[in-house]
Every structure is written in C-alpha cells, then in structure tokens.
Amino acid sequence: MHSPLFGILATLTAVRAATLNNVCSVSYVKAHLPPPGFYQGVTLSPSSVTANPVTGVKVVDNDFYPDAVFDYCNVSFTYSHDGLDDQVLLTYWLPAPAQFQNRFLATGGGGYAINSGNQSLPGGVIYGAVAGMTDAGFGAAQGNTITQWLAANGTLNWHNIYMFGYQGIREMSELGKQFTKSFFNLTRTNTTLYTYWQGCSEGGREGWSQVQRYADSFDGAVIGAPAFRWSFQQTQLLYPDVVEQTMGYYPSPCELQKIVNETIAHCDPLDGRTDGVVARTDLCSMNYDIAAVEGQPYHCPATPASPGSPATPVQQGNVTKQAIAVAKKILDGLHDSQGRRVYFAPTPSAQFTEAQTGWDATANRWGLSVISLGGVFVEVELDLLNGTNVPDLAGVTYDTLKGWIVEGMQRFQGVLETTWPDLTPYRDAGGKVLMFHGESDWGIPTASSVRYWESVRRTMHPGAGYNASAAAQNDFFRLFLVPGATHCAANPAEPGAPFPQTNLAVMIDWVERGVVPHTLNGTVLLGPDKGRNQQICAWPLRPVWAPGNATGPQCRYDQKSVDYWNYDLDAFNVPIY
Ligand SMILES: *[C@@H]1O[C@H](CO)[C@@H](O)[C@H](O)[C@H]1NC(C)=O
Ligand SMILES: *[C@@H]1O[C@H](CO)[C@@H](O)[C@H](O)[C@H]1NC(C)=O
Ligand SMILES: *[C@@H]1O[C@H](CO)[C@@H](O)[C@H](O)[C@H]1NC(C)=O
Ligand SMILES: *[C@@H]1O[C@H](CO)[C@@H](O)[C@H](O)[C@H]1NC(C)=O
Ligand SMILES: *[C@@H]1O[C@H](CO)[C@@H](O)[C@H](O)[C@H]1NC(C)=O
Ligand SMILES: *[C@@H]1O[C@H](CO)[C@@H](O)[C@H](O)[C@H]1NC(C)=O
Ligand SMILES: *[C@@H]1O[C@H](CO)[C@@H](O)[C@H](O)[C@H]1NC(C)=O
Ligand SMILES: *[C@@H]1O[C@H](CO)[C@@H](O)[C@H](O)[C@H]1NC(C)=O
Ligand SMILES: *[C@@H]1O[C@H](CO)[C@@H](O)[C@H](O)[C@H]1NC(C)=O
Ligand SMILES: *[C@@H]1O[C@H](CO)[C@@H](O)[C@H](O)[C@H]1NC(C)=O
Ligand SMILES: *[C@@H]1O[C@H](CO)[C@@H](O)[C@H](O)[C@H]1NC(C)=O
Ligand SMILES: [Ca+2]
C-alpha cells in the first residue's frame, strides 16, 4: 500500500484534483509568477496581482468560437520596462484545472485597440487553454492606442508604437506561457504546452508580427483578414473618398447600396448555386458590369437622429450615370496619374463602407465624409498631429495617396508593415498558420491576403513551379477565402454563407493530431440555414457548386482565377510583399 509508487500516484492524483477555488487566489498566483529575470528588461509587480474565480459564463453567437458555458480564473498583474516609468497590464483567463488541456492562446485587438476586452479570451478557455491579452501599457487608451502614439505634436512615441507593433504581444505571450507552465505544474509533471494565436484584422496583423519574427512564437496561428502592409492598408481606406472628390459626385448610401444589392443578386449564380452568396467574386468581376444598374430605382426610408449622427431624409431616385462611374472607379482600385496600379481592387459584392457619404443638413445634400480610420493614419502617423482625422482632403489626388503609402512604408517598415515574406524559421520549428479572409470584405481587400501567401510561396521556394511550391507551402501555411464573409464577420447581406467559427479547434487538430485542414470547417451563422456545416476551399483551389449537390462546393484549380488574384503593382519598383 505505502510503496513509493503509490506515493507518486497519490501525489499525481492530488495534483489532478486541484479545483478552481484551490488555485485561483492571489497567493497561488504570486507563488507561480515567472521568476525575476525570466524575460530581459521586464520587472513584474507581485503586489499588482488580482485573481478571482468566475463560474457559469455563457457565450453565444460569437463568430470566432461556438456557444459554450465555462468557468475560469480571472488573473491580472502588471510589469514595467526597466529604465522606463511605465506599467503594462496583463490579463489571463485560466481554465479550471480539470478542464486545462496543456494549451495557451494569445489574443490581440482590432483597429487601434491592442486587445478585444473580454471578447477573444473565451475562444481559448473553452478549448482548455489559458487565454491572454495585454494593454501594452496603454491603460485607458488600450481601446484606441493611437491617442498615445505621439510624445507631442511633431514627435512620435516610438516605444508605444513598438509596443503596439509587436513587442507588447511578445511579452504577453512569453510571460503567459511561463505563467501557464508554472500555474499548472507543467514544469514538474507533463511539460507539454501547445501554444496558439487567434486574431482578425489588427489582431491578424499582430499574429503575423509574431510568426514573422519568432520561430518559437506559436505552434499554430489562426489569422483572419490581417491589417498588414500597413501604410498601404491605412491609406487605401481613403481611396473611395478621393474618388468621390475627384469625380465630384457624392452618391447617397442608398444609391451605393442598390449597386451592391444588384451585384450580389447577379453574381450569386456564377458559382453554380443560387443561394444568396457570391462565392466567386473573381467571376463576378469578370462577368458582371454594374453599368446594368444605371437608371434602376432605389429607395431607403428617412432615419431619425441618433447620438453622433444627424437625421437623414428619405433617399430615393434612379441610380445615376455618375454613381456608376464612381463605383466603377472604386472597384478598379487605386492607380496613379500615369495609370499604374498602386493597390488591389476591392471585391465586387463587398459593401461600399469606406465610400459612405455624410448628410449635410445645411446644404441639404450628401457630401464627403472622410473615413477616420484612414484619416487618422495621415494626421497622426504621417503629419504627427494629435488628432482623430484629417480636417479634409483638400488637394489630395491619387498620387498624393501613393506618396503617403511610400512615406508610411519607409517610416514604419520595421514595426508595422508586417509583410516579411520568409517564414523559414517558424516553419522549421513546426509552426502552422491558418489564414482566412472574407471574399466580401469591405475594409481590407481580399487580394491582400492572397498577395502575401503568394509572396511567401515565391520567397521560400525560389525557382520551384507553382503547384509544387503551393503544395509545399500548404504543409504549414494554408489560406482560405471565405465565400460571402465580410470583414472578420459573417455577412448579413449574404446570410447563407459559411463562416469558419471553429478555427481554433481545426488548428488544434492540425497541431496536436496532424489532421491537415484540406478544407476549412465552416458554419452558417445567420439566416434560416443557421447551424448548417459547409466546407471552405483552400487557396489556390476555388469553389464551384456541382448541379444538384447542396452539400458543399467542389474545390477546383482555375488558372484564370489564380491570375485574377495576382496583381502587378507596377506603380512601385521595389518589391511589395
Ligand atoms: C477580472 O479582474 C479584473 C482585474 O481585477 C477586474 O477588473 C474584472 O472585473 C474581473 N472580471 C470578472 C468577471 O471578475
Ligand atoms: C463581457 O463584459 C460585458 C460587459 O461587462 C458582459 O456583459 C459580458 O457578459 C462579458 N462577457 C464575458 C464572456 O465575460
Ligand atoms: C492626444 O490627445 C488625446 C486625447 O484625444 C490625449 O489623451 C493625449 O494625451 C494627447 N497626446 C498628446 C501627445 O498630446
Ligand atoms: C500544483 O502542485 C501543487 C503542489 O503539489 C498543488 O498544491 C497545486 O494544486 C497544483 N496546481 C494545479 C493547478 O494543479
Ligand atoms: C502531455 O499532455 C499532452 C496534453 O494533454 C499530451 O498530448 C501528451 O501526450 C502528454 N505527454 C506525456 C509524455 O504524457
Ligand atoms: C439591399 O438589400 C437589403 C437586404 O439584404 C435590403 O434590406 C435593403 O433595403 C436593400 N437596399 C436597397 C437600396 O435596395
Ligand atoms: C426612374 O426609372 C423609372 C423606371 O424604372 C421611371 O419610371 C422613372 O420615371 C424614373 N425616374 C426618374 C426621375 O428618372
Ligand atoms: C496638436 O495638433 C492638434 C491637431 O492639429 C491640435 O488640435 C493641437 O492643438 C496641437 N497641440 C499642440 C500642443 O500644439
Ligand atoms: C497545377 O495543377 C492543376 C491541377 O490541380 C493543373 O490544372 C495545372 O495545369 C497545374 N499547373 C501547372 C503550372 O502545372
Ligand atoms: C465543424 O463545424 C461543425 C458545425 O458546422 C461542428 O459541429 C464541428 O464540431 C466542427 N469541427 C471542428 C473540428 O471543430
Ligand atoms: C457533393 O459535394 C461534396 C462537397 O464537395 C462532396 O464531398 C460529395 O462527394 C458530393 N456528392 C456527390 C454525390 O457528388
Ligand atoms: Ca452562389
């Protein structure tokens, strides 16, 4: 009975038997913090530790993880950088010991937020992962960090920009992995810790910022519609506004919506199935001319005033020739004054969100409304003024936009641009990447993700043929264009489309069990078919519905499509990855 073996078993049993309440305390957390000196240049503050158990949390209708009920230990603590008088707040949600599955998930933000509040962390805890996020030292500005990117007008606060760019996420990840091992006794028993990333948009860029730099960043990174190629991405948001200004026509939101609605209706069948989803925007672009919408009537009701926006009148009329011209110019993508291509075209079927005009109640007409997400890039990051948008776009031409792209590229190449194309160290360390991008994304052109996947393929397989290099790349880095999806979300305008809600589960299967996601698991999240499963094709294969088969599309190689998605950015004579 009292053999040494029994003693070990009893100890192991006791370890397993720990409950959330046993270990979710300030004293237990303090005793399991990463030791001093664990991470160079960082000093933890044990007195800052908070810890409290939270039980019975219910999550429903999230695009990035299935519905679930879970318990967790809510832990936070701070650290400072040696030599700086700063304070960075880390938050980790730890699953109950019985639910822990030797996993760690790092998460990030969106827009200029460095984290997603309590939105992303459940996506790890429900899979037995400790989930972490950071405020990267931005404190009250963590949801809109750009208010802290300047030390003063004219002077960038480079430390804050580096913290946003990649350093904050790295520190949160490394401290979080060590804390997880210590908290769950992995240093003494089974030392395996599988590490993951999940994020979309800015969160996608943050994921790449790690994968591109650190071979040991993660075992698997789930990256959606990344906001990378930073200076291009931020500047191109302004392109539709410059089109309207240059062409002198400001379509009402309803007039633009009519064009989108007609595009969806006419391009839907081109993929072989009339289901309200444009699964092939390439075929849409090649086969549908929005000129057909000219003269068609549109109508949208008046809207009452709401905080921050004025009341708007009824919008009605017939779609004008000028509206069609503006929409076509937008759909063509940014070119310079010599006709050379500066950036990718948006996909037809995407909403014209960036092109939205504003109601001018004084002049009684629709007019320019500069999208602040683009304007703030110019105001703060290029012009170094502490504002929230440019005052206007006076004198701004297509060439001005190109100039802003170059200026931003030079200034932020090493911190924000985030398209380093050689992933050899990460691949050789066994890392996997699953990247997805909605094919009806209004904010980040779908072609942006295709461009990067192709740049990595070319860079890592010089001289190899397309199919051989694509196959080799798919061993560790797979790209999925999601039919009908909008920017990092299921799309109310194409409700029957699948969305890859279970990406982390798919990645876990790939990393931990070697199950290669030949197609990406998708689920219809909106409309009458909510809950229906539909697989999503892996690039470069493209979906085609076979007659009479509603299970899912066939995934086929289509040279015309591969060519369509590969743009020649001939406005530049440096490589654009
Ligand atoms: C988690 O901890 C933080 C920091 O102490 C606290 O502000 C927050 O309210 C806690 N959340 C829950 C759900 O207990
Ligand atoms: C996130 O915070 C909001 C507001 O406090 C709360 O209503 C919601 O339940 C929280 N969600 C989770 C998963 O904790
Ligand atoms: C910039 O403005 C924000 C408020 O919008 C303020 O919080 C911040 O301290 C300002 N930064 C500088 C450097 O003036
Ligand atoms: C880690 O081991 C200690 C000592 O055996 C034990 O008290 C604690 O409950 C264990 N922690 C977990 C999370 O199992
Ligand atoms: C350690 O735990 C992980 C996750 O539960 C498991 O996959 C692995 O096989 C375990 N390794 C050993 C040596 O027990
Ligand atoms: C566009 O279609 C949506 C349904 O998806 C509808 O609610 C809206 O009224 C339509 N707008 C216009 C301008 O036709
Ligand atoms: C709009 O088009 C309809 C036909 O679709 C036509 O009857 C109507 O006269 C047109 N209205 C205007 C203002 O041109
Ligand atoms: C900094 O620039 C902003 C935006 O132009 C301006 O509102 C603010 O007054 C300036 N601050 C100082 C201290 O000059
Ligand atoms: C690549 O493979 C596809 C079939 O999957 C084939 O149709 C195509 O011709 C191949 N391309 C090249 C360049 O060999
Ligand atoms: C795939 O999605 C379906 C719902 O569409 C879900 O039931 C299933 O668990 C998912 N598979 C994985 C590996 O998560
Ligand atoms: C229908 O399509 C699905 C998805 O591509 C495929 O797996 C299945 O074999 C097809 N069924 C038939 C009868 O062709
Ligand atoms: Ca369709």
Pocket around ligand 4: residues whose beta carbon is below 6 Å from it?
A: 15, 18, 22-23, 97, 183-185
| Active-site residue, selected from the candidate residues 71, 135, 336, 441 | 441
In 237-386, where does DSSP find H-type helix?
Answer: 239-247, 253-267, 281-287, 321-332, 372-376
CB-side neighbour CA atoms (13 Å) of 331: 25
Q: What integer pLDDT is reported at residue 190 of this predicted model?
A: 76
335 is catalytic: no
Ligand 8 nearest atom to the CA of residue 153, by list position: 1
User: Each residue of 28-54: pLDDT tens digit?
Assistant: 999 999 999 999 999 999 999 999 999
Q: What integer pLDDT is reported at residue 4 of this predicted model?
A: 43
469 is catalytic: no
Mutate to test the pocket of ligand 7, among 294, 318, 320 (most ligand atoms within 8 A of CB): 318
Distance from C-alpha of 552 to C-alpha of 550, rounded to nearest angstrom: 6
- CA–CA distance from 267 to each of 187, 227, 481 (Å)? 56, 27, 17
Residues 501 and 489: beta-carbon distance below 8 Å: no
Mutate to test the pocket of ligand 10, among 198, 523, 526, 529 (most ligand atoms within 8 A of CB): 523
- pLDDT (tens, 9 = 90+) of the chain, 577 residues, equals 344 444 444 444 444 569 999 999 999 999 999 999 999 999 999 999 999 999 999 999 999 999 999 999 999 999 999 999 999 999 999 999 999 999 999 999 999 999 999 999 999 999 999 999 999 999 999 999 999 999 999 999 999 999 999 999 999 999 999 999 999 999 776 789 999 999 999 999 999 999 999 999 999 999 999 999 999 999 999 999 999 999 999 999 999 999 999 999 999 999 999 999 999 999 999 999 999 999 999 999 999 999 988 899 999 999 999 999 999 999 999 999 999 999 999 999 999 999 999 999 999 999 999 999 999 999 999 999 999 999 999 999 999 999 999 999 999 999 999 999 999 999 999 999 999 999 999 999 999 999 999 999 999 999 999 999 999 999 999 999 999 999 999 999 999 999 999 999 999 999 999 999 999 999 999 999 999 999 999 999 999 999 999 999 999 999 999 999 999 999 999 999 9
Pocket around ligand 2: residues whose beta carbon is below 6 Å from it?
A: 57, 59, 118, 122
Q: Which of 420, 386, 387 is nearest to 230 (CA)?
A: 420
Mutate to test the pocket of ligand 10, among 67, 222, 480, 502 (most ligand atoms within 8 A of CB): 502
Residues 441 and 557: beta-carbon distance below 8 Å: no
| Active-site residue, selected from the candidate residues 201, 209, 231, 285 | 201
- Beta strands 42-59 and 68-81 are antiparallel
User: Rounded to the nearest whole angstrom, what is the distance from the C-alpha of residue 267 to the centroid of ligand 7?
Assistant: 25
34, two tokens: 């990463």
Count the neighbouring beta carbons within 10 Å of the beta carbon of residue 173. Answer: 23
Q: What integer pLDDT is reported at residue 6 of this predicted model?
A: 43
Q: Which of 505, 422, 464, 405 is nearest to 127 (CA)?
A: 505
Count the neighbouring beta carbons within 10 Å of the beta carbon of residue 102. Answer: 18
Q: What integer pLDDT is reported at residue 188 of this predicted model?
A: 77
Ligand 5 nearest atom to the CA of residue 103, by list position: 4
Residues 256 and 212: beta-carbon distance below 8 Å: no
502 within ligand 10 shell (Cβ under 6 A): yes
In this structure, the residue with its CA closest to atom 3 of ligand 4 is 15
Residue ranges of the domains in the chain?
15-192, 233-414
401 sits in which H/E element: helix 398-412
147 within ligand 3 shell (Cβ under 6 A): yes
201 is catalytic: yes
Pocket around ligand 7: residues whose beta carbon is below 6 Å from it?
A: 295, 297, 318
